[in-house]
Structure 1
Amino acid sequence: MERKSIFITGAASGIGKETALFFAERDWFVGLFDVNENGLVELAEKIGEEQCCYKVVDVSDFQEMEQAVAFFGEKTNNQMNVLFNNAGVMHMDFFENIPHESHVKAVQVNIMGVVNGVYACLDILKNTPKAHIVSMCSASAFYGTPEVATYSATKFFVRGFTEALNIELEKKGITVTDLMPLFVNTHMIKSQDHQCNSLKKFGAQLSPQQIAKIVWKAAHKKKVHWVPTLQLKFLSYMGNAFPFMGKTLMKIFS
């Protein structure tokens, strides 16, 4: 198989869906994996069966992830140019108002889903020259964000995991990177019953299509963190340059 390939979790909607379409339009073979079977079927029909494969997968289940990777490898001659860890969940409200099981689910999907993805894909990535791992992180990994406390904490994990593996896997020819956007206008954001103050102030200005273009860039370069928008880059710079101001900035902007 000569065309390049990408393995996408959370592919049935939002960022995952738009990323799949963006890569498919550029003649990549796309692996679509999600818990939403109807969404996968619809997307696969749109892309075309000759250019994609799909499988229902819960990223928090390592055995299911292993089976998904084996299935993908059968279609790509055991090659994977890009792993896109996109699957994630968010529950927006004050910590005490969110059911305990929802906090647990966020940890299982947002943390273990990424760990499972990387671990399950590592052999096939090592078998592919100049492979990339791209993970969805978040601007909430700059400083702990009120009203999305557990989600924010899971994204701190993704940031640290990315930085560590970027160093570890460099010698194996694998680039590890993440995306750290503000709110993206997806169903996950629009379906929240409670809107945190930072969402009210910043809004969900980024589109899934814009993020898909950044995934493409991240899959072809070596930068560790991708921070969209000048506004967010400025806030990131201020937080890094004056760490003692982190809490003050968060109170102002959340």
Structure 2
Amino acid sequence: MEAIIVTGAGTGLGKELALLLSKQDYHVILTGRTEDTLNAVKQQIEQSGGSATVQALDLRNLEEIKEIALLLSKKHTLSGLVNNAGIGYFGPFSETSDTEMEEVFQTNVFGTIHMTKAILPYLEQNQKGLVVNIISTAGLRGKKHEAVYCASKFAVRGFTESLQKEYEATDIRFVAAYMGGMNTPFWEESEHVADPTKFRSATEVAEIIVNNLEKTEIIIESKKS
């Protein structure tokens, strides 16, 4: 069975994507920093007849990424990667700390880049594969009080579009998914969004993404209407 890695798979969109991909004949490798939530998703997948593995992973640790990619390649036929994990700090740019800026880029940008670089050799070996980068509409246009977050997402957009061109003559595909705000735990520790319930659910967004994976670009605005 072909395996696909989902980063940040314990909650929100990552969880919903993992659940859906497990129904697409993938063995889903659930990665993240909190094993309890990952194990809960694994149990849900298996109860639905799917197959999954839990792998603790900190995207801020490059050596850990390399080691785990090698480990997973020995156990599974790696055919896909969903770069979903991401963080954000919101508010006036002048009040954003250096630490917050570094954390956002470490996870959103370098985590995505390093994961892709670690997994690509195995996709190249199999001469096919799928990489889905969850970017957000913050990678399409600037937004008030989201300067650093948008900067990180614009970086991932450029990275994705460049690889689409670099691999366009191969069977390794790169999909850019741009979605607006979602009603997920992402907003629990932020006052940036007053009422997340006005947004689409993570389940709805995941369904749109999975149903459009043949495209190179998927744009999903945040409003339900």
- Common topology (TM > 0.5): yes
Displacement of 1:30: 0.2
Where does 1:35-54 land on structure 2 (aligned, <5 Å)? 35-48=33-46, 51-54=51-54
Q: Deviation per CA, 1:136-181: give whole Å up to 9, x if none.
A: 1111122221211100000001111111100102233211111111
Displacement of 1:218: 4.4
1:86/1:224 Cα in 2 relative to 1: closer, same or farther (>3 Å)? Answer: same
**Structure 1 residue identity aligned to 2:168:** E
Contact 1:183 1:189 in 2 (8 A): no
Q: Deviation per CA, 1:6-32: give whole Å up to 9, x if none.
A: 111111111111111111133320001
Aligned to 1:213: 207
Secondary structure of 1:111 counterpart: helix
Aligned to 1:225: 217
Q: Deviation per CA, 1:166-203: give whole Å up to 9, x if none.
A: 010223321111111110111112331x22xxx56997
1:150/1:142 Cα in 2 relative to 1: closer, same or farther (>3 Å)? Answer: same
Q: Distance in 2 between matches of 1:69 and 1:212?
A: 25
* Number of corresponding residues: 222
Higher strand share: 2
Displacement of 1:68: 2.1
Q: Which runs of 5+ in 2 are unaligned?
A: none
1:126/1:204 Cα in 2 relative to 1: closer, same or farther (>3 Å)? Answer: farther
Contact 2:180 2:222 in 1 (8 A): no
1:204/1:4 Cα in 2 relative to 1: closer, same or farther (>3 Å)? Answer: farther
1:34/1:202 Cα in 2 relative to 1: closer, same or farther (>3 Å)? Answer: closer
Higher helix share: 1
Displacement of 1:129: 4.3
Aligned to 1:123: 121
Aligned to 2:31: 33
Where does 1:72-111 land on structure 2 (aligned, <5 Å)? 72-76=72-76, 79-111=77-109
Computing the radius of gyration from Cα coordinates, the structure with the larger value is 1
Secondary structure of 1:11 counterpart: coil
Where does 1:1-254 land on structure 2 (aligned, <5 Å)? 3-48=1-46, 51-76=51-76, 79-192=77-190, 194-195=191-192, 199=193, 204-219=198-213, 221=214, 223-229=215-221
CA RMSD of aligned residues (A): 2.4
Contact 2:81 2:131 in 1 (8 A): yes
Aligned to 1:242: none
Identity of aligned residues (%): 25
Q: TM (normalized to structure 1)?
A: 0.79
Displacement of 1:231: 7.2
Secondary structure of 1:180 counterpart: strand
